[in-house]
Chains A and B, each alone.
Chain A
Amino acid sequence: MKSKKILVLDDDRIVLESCKRVLEAEGFKVFLVSSAREAVELLTTGYFDLMIMDVKMPEHDGMYLLEKIKEKWPLDIWPELPVVVMSGYPTPDTISESLVRGAREFLVKPFTPDELISSTYKALKRSKKHGKSKSISDR
């Protein structure tokens, strides 16, 4: 089975490193970006099975990025990029807003490797339920 590609976005280096270590150990291909701009760049050039992102970053926050994704890819295809949202300061507002904007899972920092893995699989599993896996680059 071809290993899944996961894009991780966070402005904190240690979080990126942690995700990389845990997810690679699980056999995923992990790509790290530290800004929303970079994330958009990568998303337009390549296909990813999952994106894990922080909602609160200095440059643009995650909400902005979620909005951007929604704009860039029409409604009929954007849900096909499952997103896991992370936050060190989860409020009911940010959680519900994230879910409304298309996030599949919400991960509260600090998390243990097990929590990360379980969220990842859950998000991917849900994505599968939707079936019709279609690459962005196919278009």
Chain B
Amino acid sequence: MFYSTRSKLIISFLGVSILVGIISLFVGIQLLYKTVLNEAKTRIRLDLNAAREIYLSHINTIHTALSIATFDGELHSYLDSKQTGKLKQKLRSISQQIGMDFAGIVMENGEILCRTGPDATPGVSQQVQNPVANYVLKHGTAVSGTVILKKEFLIAEGPELAAQARIELLPTPMAAPRMEKEETSGMSLASGIPLYENGELFGVLYGGILLNRNNEIVDTVRETVFQDETFKGRVIGTATIFFKDLRISTNVITPEGERAIGTRVSREVRDRVLIDGKRWTDRAFVVSDWYITAYEPILDIYGQRVGILYVGVLEAKYADVRRNVLSVFIFITFAGMIIAIGLGYIMANKITRPVRQLIQASNEVSRGNLKPDIGPISKNETGVLQKTFSEMLSHLRERDRLQKVESEDKLLLSEKLSSIGRLAAGVAHEINNPLTGVLTFTHMLLRRSDINEEVRSDLKTIAQETGRVRKIVKGLLDFARQTKLDPETTDINWLVESTIALVKNEALVNGLNLEFNPAEELPVHTVDRSQLQSVLLNIMINAFDTTKPGGNVTVTTGLGISASKTEQKGIEIAISDSGYGILPEHLDKLFDPFFTTKDVGNGTGLGLAVSYGIIERHGGTIRVQSKVGKGSTFTIWLPLEGQCEK
């Protein structure tokens, strides 16, 4: 499968941004929520402290009011005079002032002197246990706090109190099971103040508030601590007073919209707070919602854990915060991803565009277009590649051009040579027969003795000139003949030397200095000895012809590289002379058949053309360098590999 660099880049960018996004989402939200939750828990603990203070302040109010009452002169005069009717009025007015549900005076012998509720039978000792009075009488000190009141006491204090205290237990999920169907006892805030006369305790003034179905404290907590804050129409802050695990005073609302009195706390909270006596601060499911909650046990005046004080705030508020944060995070992540894609796309494009253009350009080059568009040069590594690529292209173009020129030249020359060759062969063949006749009859005439000298001289001229024709035709045929090569493994130095031996005398006669500089180590080569020799002879004789006496003809052998772009390895034989040189305009006609600069009759103009053909068939080339007046160098180059064509 092939993925472009661009998609890879985009995918990597995307991957990184998704990873970062998700990690920050989870970690961020966890951290944030933990912090918020901890903050909320800390706050709720403080809230619970505030609630407790409110709870205790109510106790203090009762205590203070009753303490003040014991110093009331009126009260004492009524006590002294046993005016129970007045006393009752007095107690009722105090109760009303501070909102007490019950109050009364119990004498040292347990007789109830008076109470705000229905009158007790005078003179009858207290049949019903009064926990507050009992405590004071037993310890001789004032007491204030939470007190559990039995149903009998409540009935005695007033039937309406007993009714208020009776709470039916509602089925509550997660609560610990309880056998009873209803709670008839009451939980109260009460105070008992000892009454002394001349240093002697003679009675107890008591009073208190029944907490069952009395929502004053919890509503005060809600109002003062949570300031009636609402969230989506629901009150955030809630407070509850539990009697054991039962809600007796609360502003937690049931789904039906009523105060959740009669429902109970979960077993988990009960076990920890009521049984273990510890605080609880955590999220908890309260009635029908999740709350961040704080619970602490309520101790009665005997130090028994009798109830629980609870405050809680709707978790929904914080959950909403979490939801908001979550959506912000998600939004940021998505935005980041989109930016990453965009950025990736742009960068990938920036990086890959030149590369893609290069790929396209190379495709075009392979299809033969050597001038493809490679786009603007980048200022990075790709730019280096582009520059190298375009340099390579220009080399290719130059090479292409040279090759074209070379092969065109070559083709032209070989076409010219072969057509001339065919023509020559045809002509030669036809001419040979009549020439045979001319030669024969001329010679036959010359044999006769009955001819005079003038005729003989003329006949000789005919014979001579016919001989010349024969030579020309022979040259033509040599040139045209597509002679098969007969390659043999040959030491080129030896071949050159033996050729030089053949022409040594001629060089001497012409007064020329013939030299041979053999290469020291020359690989053996496979050539047609006689044909190569005729080429060497031809070029050497030409050199002799153009060089004045006293001049030099030098033959050099060596290794050389082909003049073509392929830079093939090969062997070179260079024949230099210090002759007239070749006129520049003659240079490209040099190998044409019948081209000669020699006097008419001295050359056929076929020697070099034939030589060219022979070397070409060997896969080699002949190069000529010449300077007029300085001399010429003919360089024969023969390839070392793929040497001969057959």
- List A residues at the B interface (Cβ < 8 Å): 10, 12, 14-15, 17-19, 21-22, 25, 56, 88-93, 109-114, 116
Question: For B483, what are the chain A residues with a Cβ–Cβ distance below 8 Å?
Answer: 91-92
Contacting pair B436 A110 (CB below 8 A): yes
Contacts known (A15-B437, A17-B437, A111-B436); A88 close to B428, Cβ less than 8 A: yes
B484 at interface, CB cutoff 8 A = yes
A29–B484 Cα distance when bound, in Å, is 39
Contacting pair A21 B432 (CB below 8 A): no
B446 to chain A, nearest CB (A): 9
Contacts known (A14-B434, A88-B433, A110-B435); A93 close to B440, Cβ less than 8 A: no
Contacts known (A93-B484, A110-B470); A88 close to B440, Cβ less than 8 A: no
Question: For B434, what are the chain A residues with a Cβ–Cβ distance below 8 Å?
Answer: 14
Contacting pair B440 A113 (CB below 8 A): yes
Contacting pair A109 B440 (CB below 8 A): no
Contacts known (A25-B444, A89-B425, A92-B484); A112 close to B439, Cβ less than 8 A: yes
A10 to chain B, nearest CB (A): 8
Contacting pair A22 B428 (CB below 8 A): no
A115 to chain B, nearest CB (A): 9
Contacting pair B484 A18 (CB below 8 A): no
Contacts known (A89-B477, A93-B484, A110-B435); A22 close to B429, Cβ less than 8 A: no
A56–B433 Cα distance when bound, in Å, is 12
Contacting pair A21 B435 (CB below 8 A): no
A10–B437 Cα distance when bound, in Å, is 13
When C-beta atoms are compared, the residue in chain A nearest to B430 turns out to be: A88
A66–B461 Cα distance when bound, in Å, is 39
Question: For B432, what are the chain A residues with a Cβ–Cβ distance below 8 Å?
Answer: 88-89, 109-110
When C-beta atoms are compared, the residue in chain B nearest to A18 turns out to be: B440
B461 to chain A, nearest CB (A): 15
Question: For B431, what are the chain A residues with a Cβ–Cβ distance below 8 Å?
Answer: 88
Contacting pair A113 B433 (CB below 8 A): no
- Name B433-454 residues within 8 Å CB distance of A: 433-441, 443-444, 447
When C-beta atoms are compared, the residue in chain A nearest to B483 turns out to be: A92
Question: For B470, what are the chain A residues with a Cβ–Cβ distance below 8 Å?
Answer: 110
When C-beta atoms are compared, the residue in chain B nearest to A11 turns out to be: B433
B481 at interface, CB cutoff 8 A = yes
| SS class, residues of chain A in contact with chain B | helix
Contacting pair B439 A111 (CB below 8 A): yes
Q: Which of A14, A88, A90, A114 has the most CB of B within 10 A?
A: A88
A113–B433 Cα distance when bound, in Å, is 14
Contacting pair A114 B436 (CB below 8 A): no
Contacting pair A89 B440 (CB below 8 A): no
Question: For A114, what are the chain B residues with a Cβ–Cβ distance below 8 Å?
Answer: 443
Contacting pair A109 B425 (CB below 8 A): no
A81 to chain B, nearest CB (A): 23
A123–B432 Cα distance when bound, in Å, is 23
Chain B: number of interface residues, binned into ranges: 20 to 34
When C-beta atoms are compared, the residue in chain A nearest to B482 turns out to be: A91
When C-beta atoms are compared, the residue in chain B nearest to A115 turns out to be: B439
Question: For A113, what are the chain B residues with a Cβ–Cβ distance below 8 Å?
Answer: 439-440, 443-444, 447
When C-beta atoms are compared, the residue in chain B nearest to A12 turns out to be: B433
Contacting pair B436 A89 (CB below 8 A): no
25 A/B residue pairs, CB under 8 Å, sorted by A: A14-B434, A14-B436, A14-B437, A15-B437, A18-B439, A18-B441, A21-B440, A88-B431, A88-B433, A89-B425, A89-B429, A89-B432, A89-B477, A90-B477, A91-B481, A92-B483, A92-B484, A109-B432, A109-B435, A109-B436, A110-B432, A110-B433, A110-B435, A110-B439, A113-B440
A18–B436 Cα distance when bound, in Å, is 7
* Cross-interface CB contact of A15 among B433, B466, B486, cutoff 8 Å: B433
Question: For A14, what are the chain B residues with a Cβ–Cβ distance below 8 Å?
Answer: 433-434, 436-437
B220 to chain A, nearest CB (A): 135
Against A, the Cβ 8 Å flags (1 = close, 0 = not) of B153-172 are: 00000000000000000000
B170 to chain A, nearest CB (A): 129
A76 to chain B, nearest CB (A): 33
- Name B127-148 residues within 8 Å CB distance of A: none
Question: For B436, what are the chain A residues with a Cβ–Cβ distance below 8 Å?
Answer: 12, 14-15, 18, 109-111
B7 to chain A, nearest CB (A): 68
A109–B444 Cα distance when bound, in Å, is 17
When C-beta atoms are compared, the residue in chain A nearest to B466 turns out to be: A110
Contacting pair A22 B440 (CB below 8 A): yes
Q: 10 new A-B pairs (CB below 8 Å) besides A18-B440, A110-B435?
A: A14-B437, A15-B436, A18-B441, A19-B440, A21-B440, A21-B441, A22-B444, A89-B428, A113-B439, A113-B440
Q: Which of A18, A22, A90 has the most CB of B within 10 A?
A: A18
Question: For B447, what are the chain A residues with a Cβ–Cβ distance below 8 Å?
Answer: 25, 113
When C-beta atoms are compared, the residue in chain A nearest to B426 turns out to be: A89
When C-beta atoms are compared, the residue in chain A nearest to B469 turns out to be: A110
B296 to chain A, nearest CB (A): 128
Against A, the Cβ 8 Å flags (1 = close, 0 = not) of B391-434 are: 00000000000000000000000000000000001001111111
A26 to chain B, nearest CB (A): 11
Question: For B437, what are the chain A residues with a Cβ–Cβ distance below 8 Å?
Answer: 14-15, 17-18
A12–B473 Cα distance when bound, in Å, is 18
Q: Which of A89, A90, A111 has the most CB of B within 10 A?
A: A89
Against A, the Cβ 8 Å flags (1 = close, 0 = not) of B369-404 are: 000000000000000000000000000000000000
